[in-house]
Amino acid sequence: MEKFPKDFIWGTATSSYQIEGGAALDGKGPSIWDAFSSIPGKIFEGGTGDVACDHYHKFKEDVQLMKNMGVKAYRFSIAWARVMPTGKDTVNEKGIQFYSDLIDELLKADITPWVTLYHWDLPLALQLEDDGWLGTAIVDHFAAYANLCFERFGDRVKNWITLNEPWVVAILGYGQGVFAPGRTSNSEPYLAAHHLILAHAKAVNLYRENYSYQAGQIGITNNCDWREPLTDSQQDKAAAERALEFFLAWFADPIYKGDYPAVMKERLGERLPNFSAAEKEMMLGTSDFFGLNHYTTMYAAHDDGTGKNQNVYGNGGISEDQAVDLSLDKNWKLTNMNWAVVPWGCKKLLAWIDERYGQPEIIITENGCAYVDELVDGEVDDQERLDFYKGYLQACQQAISEGIKLKGFFAWSFMDNFEWASGYSKRFGLHYVDFETLERTPKKSALWFKDAIAQNSADV
Ligand code: GAL
């Protein structure tokens, strides 16, 4: 049986808006997701995060369930508007108390907290007053919020993630408009992304300058699918490479190399903002680990202008800018999100990152799948999810045995939750949540995960 390295980090992940509920409780301010989900037609069947999994009240039970699984780490996010209701200046002590209690509960259970500062729920006031991620003020506001978190939680939290998936914020929030704040544009995504990267960099610099005594680590989580060339032609190979650059290198190159990829500069011209020399210096090296969310794979082909897959979700950027045509293999199995299950794509992506960024330590901060789960006699037989995790974790094992420095794996998600525009129609959890009674039940995959953790192997 192939084993993971001894110190491999086995974790599960969630985010604030998707699980907490308590949307207006104890002084919490509204976020752009509270506003967005209140607009008719934006969320499947009108779902909102008002109650979600009610984790705000049930967090002790949830920590206990994690402990039962034997997870070593839990990745959650802080709702900025819960601790700073307007995103700046005023601190809400009751919000601070909530996260403080959660952190204490985790430590008592021997579970290491991994804290994401921003998982998309921007305080609404910052959107209305400062133009959200389009304005320049956000950079300082984010740094001040990060400072508050380091100051209040950094005595116990040693693993920080500044941003979750800035690609999604930029493309789905400002390009396609299917996520908050719901804007559509072919230039705003590049501007929003620019400020996201600068905000990340400023927060990391601040952490390193003022909180080094806390002896923690800090990084960013980016998302990327694998892009496999459709054919062996030079054109398709270049298209696949270009797709990965527009997807992942857009955010990772500034941090690891100090600037945007050349191909983006060439193709976008003035729509891509420039970094000043001082900004380049501030950004460089601002991630102690390479946080990666990975779910799926698509074929990439050169788009000769007749491409049929323009603007589909997962296109890795404004598709016209990339000239890449994406497609699926009809033999690939699909999840309930219609995402293809391709474990070897995960291994190839890890190798691509390893090579391009000089062997960084990589943490998979999300991987998982949605299926139509049913609770029958108190049990959920989600064999497909079990197979999915086994396949992806075996691909991870192979990557490690080939020398890639993969240090951890967080399953998305600990429990079923609010799946953004899909509302409650997509179940990603290791635990089933009955959204009427809010009762949690470990699925078959959670029991498998527990064994895998105990044996430190995917071959179980
Ligand atoms: C990620 C996101 C999570 C979760 C997951 C499944 O993009 O960070 O919040 O929703 O996808 O769609």
The 10s digit of each residue's pLDDT in 262-308 is 999 999 999 999 999 999 999 999 999 999 999 999 999 998 776 55
Q: How far apart are CA 67 and CA 379, in angstroms?
A: 19
Query: Which residues in 165-224 belong to E strands, given as ranges?
Result: 217-223
Which amino acid residue places its CA nearest to atom 9 of ligand 1?
Answer: 15
Distance from the Cα of residue 227 to its chain's centroid? 19
Using the mean position of ligand 1's atoms as its centre, give its distance from the Cα of residue 419 in Å.
7
Which atom, in ligand 1's list, is nearest to the CA of 165?
A: 8
What local confidence, expressed as pLDDT, does residue 317 receive? 47
- Closest residue to atom 12 of ligand 1, CA basis: 419
**What are the E-state strand segments in 132-253?**
159-164, 217-223, 226-229
318-373, pLDDT tens digit by residue? 668 899 999 999 999 999 999 999 999 999 999 999 999 999 999 999 999 999 99
366 CA → ligand 1 middle, Å: 8
Q: Cβ neighbours of residue 168 under 8 Å, at least 6 residues apart?
A: 120, 179, 223
Catalytic residue among 20, 105, 165, 419: 165
Amino acid at 70: G
Query: What pLDDT band is residue 315 in, cutting at 50, 70 and 90?
Result: very low
Q: State residue 119's pLDDT score.
A: 99
% pLDDT > 90, the chain: 95
Residues 6+ apart with CB under 8 A from 10: 70, 71, 72, 73, 408, 409, 449, 452, 453
> Ligand 1 pocket: which of 121, 335, 336, 412 to mutate (most atoms <8 Å of CB)?
412
- Whether the Cβ atoms of residue 16 and residue 121 lie closer than 8 Å to each other: yes
Distance CA 161, CA 140 (A): 17
Domain regions of the chain by residue span: 9-455
Q: Can you tell me which atom of ligand 1 is nearest the CA of 417?
A: 10
DSSP 341-402: --HHHHHHHHHHHHHHTTS--EEEEEE---B----BTTB---HHHHHHHHHHHHHHHHHHHT
Q: Is 366 a catalytic residue?
A: yes
**Hey, whose CA ends up nearest to atom 5 of ligand 1?**
412
Q: How far is the CA of 119 from the centre of ligand 1 (A)?
A: 9
Q: What would the mean pLDDT of 233-243 be, rounded to a whole number?
A: 97
pLDDT digits (tens, 9 = 90+) for 180-212: 999 999 999 999 999 999 999 999 999 999 999
Note if 45 is an active site residue. no
Kindly name the residue from 105, 188, 228, 366 that is annotated as catalytic: 366
Structural tokens at position 105: 């509960």
Please state the φ and ψ torsions of residue 250, each to the nearest 5 degrees: -45, -45
Model pTM score? 0.97
Name which of 358, 363, 372, 353 is nearest 443 in CA terms: 372
Atom of ligand 1 nearest to the CA of 164: 8
Q: Give the residue whose CA is nearest to atom 10 of ligand 1.
A: 419
Q: What pLDDT sits at residue 304? A: 74
Residue 364 has which token pair? 């998979």
Q: What pLDDT, on the 0 to 100 scale, is given for residue 318?
A: 62
- Are 417 and 433 contacting, i.e. CB atoms less than 8 angstroms apart? yes
The DSSP code for 66 is H
Name residues contacting ligand 1 (CB within 6 A): 15, 18, 164-165, 168, 223, 293, 366, 412, 419-420, 428
- Ligand 1 mutation target, pool 221, 294, 366, 413, most atoms within 8 A of CB: 366
Strand-pair partners of 408: 9, 363
Task: Assign 387 a pLDDT band (cuts: 50, 70, 90).
Answer: very high
Joined tokens for residue 82: 């819960």
DSSP state of 42: S
- Give the tokens for residue 284: 């460089």
d(CA 241, CA 414): 33
Q: Please tell me the distance between residue 393's alpha carbon and the centre of ligand 1 in angstroms.
A: 18
Ligand 1 centroid, distance to 27 Cα (angstroms): 27
More confident residue, 232 or 319: 232
Q: Is 137 exposed, middle or buried (0-12, 13-18, 19+ CB in 10 A)?
A: middle
307 Cα–ligand 1 center, Å: 27
Please tell me the CATH superfamily of domain 9-455, with its number: Glycosidases (3.20.20.80)
- Measured in angstroms, how far is the CA atom of residue 387 from the centroid of ligand 1? 20
pLDDT, average across residues 215-242: 98
Nearest residue (CA) to ligand 1, atom 4: 419
